[in-house]
């Protein structure tokens, strides 16, 4: 799988930001709030996993971890913006996901490059499963659904990248 030229951070213009779903039925708003909060919290964790895994050693794995972290930051921002567009706010308990991400990331870093990759594979597999469920969990508008689908596709690309690194017999880092 080649992701040369892949977009890490899509452009967002001021015209792309607007109020959404204020006229939706309460049940639909509740489903969307719950799903967006879950997605935002999970992306907070993903950012911190990658952030804690990156070392100062100049190698391809660290470069790819930095790119993945940056991409996950855009996902986190996607869902934070959507929460505000719908008139919601991020969870006050998101710090727990921040902490969990740091523990998973730093713990795997202590155990070496192969554990970093296995942790990435585990995290991305879980993310893909969550996206699949959450895409079905709410009646998404025509602007938000493509963002979820694009972010899920990014997670699939991360998963493949970590699997390919793990298959490589050469020293990882």
Burial class (CB in 10 A: 0-12, 13-18, 19+), 124: buried
pLDDT in tens, 68-124: 999 999 999 999 999 999 999 999 988 898 899 899 999 999 999 999 999 999 999
Provide the number of structural domains found in the chain: 1
- pLDDT by residue (tens digit) across 58-67? 999 999 999 9
* Model pLDDT, residue 3: 55
CATH code of the domain containing 72: 1.20.1260.10
Q: Contact at 8 Å (CB) between 138 and 152? A: no
Query: Has residue 50 been placed in a domain?
Result: yes
The answer, yes or no, to whether residue 169 has pLDDT greater than 80, is no
pLDDT score recorded for residue 1: 41
Q: Is pLDDT at 2 greater than 50 in this prediction?
A: no
pTM over 0.85: yes
Write the CB contacts of 150 (distance below 8 Å, at least 6 apart in sequence): 10
Residues spanned by the domain of 129? 25-167
């Amino acid at each position: 799988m080649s992701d040369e030229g892949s977009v890490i951070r899509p452009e967002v213009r001021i015209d792309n930001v607007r109020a959404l779903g204020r006229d939706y039925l309460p049940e639909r708003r509740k489903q969307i709030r719950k799903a967006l909060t879950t997605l935002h919290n999970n992306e907070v964790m993903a950012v911190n996993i990658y952030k804690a895994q990156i070392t100062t050693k100049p190698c391809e794995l660290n470069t790819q971890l930095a790119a993945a972290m940056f991409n996950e930051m855009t996902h986190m921002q996607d869902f934070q913006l959507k929460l505000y567009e719908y008139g919601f706010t991020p969870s006050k308990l998101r710090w727990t996901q921040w902490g969990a991400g740091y523990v998973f990331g730093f713990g795997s870093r202590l155990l070496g490059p192969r554990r970093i990759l296995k942790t990435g594979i585990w995290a991305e597999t879980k993310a893909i499963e969550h996206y699949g469920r959450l895409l079905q969990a709410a009646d998404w508008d025509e602007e938000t659904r493509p963002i979820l689908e694009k972010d899920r596709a990014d997670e699939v690309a991360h998963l493949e990248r970590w699997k390919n690194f793990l298959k490589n017999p050469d020293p990882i880092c």
